[in-house]
Amino acid sequence: MNQLRVALQANDITGIQNAATALTQAGDYLNQQLGFYGAAQNRIAAAADLSQKMDLNFQAALAGKQGRRLGAGHSGIDASQDAGAGVAERPRPDAQNEPV
């Protein structure tokens, strides 16, 4: 930038052209960097969104498992196991009429 100022003050056409070329190259470099960091920012945002979605899914799955465990009376036995055990222990009504 200073090169351009000096060249303009001296009315140096070659210096102005060289400074303009250097400024163009600097602008190109900055645009390249802007693209790179913009893409990186987009990847980070996508990863953060995915992380939040996975967190919600894991929380929902955990809540579902905790709900089934709590629904079975804190015994660690789920409802299907509890129902199966109760049916097996009840005597059949017709078993009382059978001879021993």
For 9-55, write each residue's pLDDT tens digit. 999 899 999 999 999 999 999 999 999 999 999 999 999 999 999 99
Cα separation, 24 vs 32, whole angstroms: 12
Number of domains in the chain: 1
pLDDT of residue 64: 86
Cα separation, 6 vs 12, whole angstroms: 8
Asked whether residue 42 is assigned to any structural domain, the reply reads yes
- 78 Cβ neighbours under 8 A, 6+ residues apart: 68, 69, 72
Angle separating helix axes 13-71 and 2-10, nearest 10 degrees:
160
Asked whether residue 66 is assigned to any structural domain, the reply reads yes
Asked whether residue 54 is assigned to any structural domain, the reply reads yes
Asked whether residue 99 is assigned to any structural domain, the reply reads no
Q: Which domain holds residue 48?
A: 2-89
* Each residue's pLDDT tens digit, 63-87: 888 877 766 555 555 555 554 544 4
Over 80: is that where the pLDDT of 3 sits? yes
pLDDT of residue 1: 85
Asked whether residue 97 is assigned to any structural domain, the reply reads no
Q: At 4, is the pLDDT very low, low, confident or very high (cuts 50, 70, 90)?
A: confident
Asked whether residue 94 is assigned to any structural domain, the reply reads no
Over 60: is that where the pLDDT of 97 sits? no
Which of 4, 1, 49 is CA-nearest to residue 26? 1
> 90 or 18: which carries more pLDDT confidence?
18
Cα separation, 89 vs 93, whole angstroms: 12
Asked whether residue 8 is assigned to any structural domain, the reply reads yes
Asked whether residue 100 is assigned to any structural domain, the reply reads no
Burial of 92 (0-12, 13-18, 19+ CB in 10 A): exposed
